[in-house]
Amino acid sequence: MTKRLKLLLVIAGYIYSQGTSGIDSLSIISEDWCHDLPRAVYANLKRVNVSNKWFEVYRLDNDVFAIYEPHQWQEVISYLILGSEKA
């Protein structure tokens, strides 16, 4: 086994052994985080009506949309970019 491979295995083992270091991500989030939504930074964006209440969609530009999950505590934002041939 080469020295680089051994070193890589040692580093990977160390990183794996550290885990999350005992931090519970839910413990740092207040219980009422959802009451502050939607965020003020979205106030100037044009909201698009969608049939699914889990998502909020905002038009950012002519062919760019932000798909936002406000009820997921990570507040995931995905982007849809429309093209002339593909999205």
Q: Does residue 58 surpass a pLDDT of 90?
A: yes
- Give the side-chain half-sphere CA count within 13 A for 16: 6
Region label for 22, one of left (φ > 0), alpha (ψ between -120 and 50) or beta (otherwise): left
Ranking 41-45, 65-69, 71-75 by mean pLDDT, the lowest is 71-75
Number of domains in the chain: 1
Please give the pLDDT value at position 16.
Answer: 64
Ranking 21-25, 35-39, 47-51, 78-82 by mean pLDDT, the lowest is 21-25
Q: Tell me the residue type at 35.
A: H
Provide the domain limits for residue 56: 27-81
Q: Tell me, yes or no, whether 9 lies in a domain.
A: no
Q: Tell me, yes or no, whether 72 lies in a domain.
A: yes
Q: Tell me, yes or no, whether 32 lies in a domain.
A: yes
Q: Tell me, yes or no, whether 14 lies in a domain.
A: no
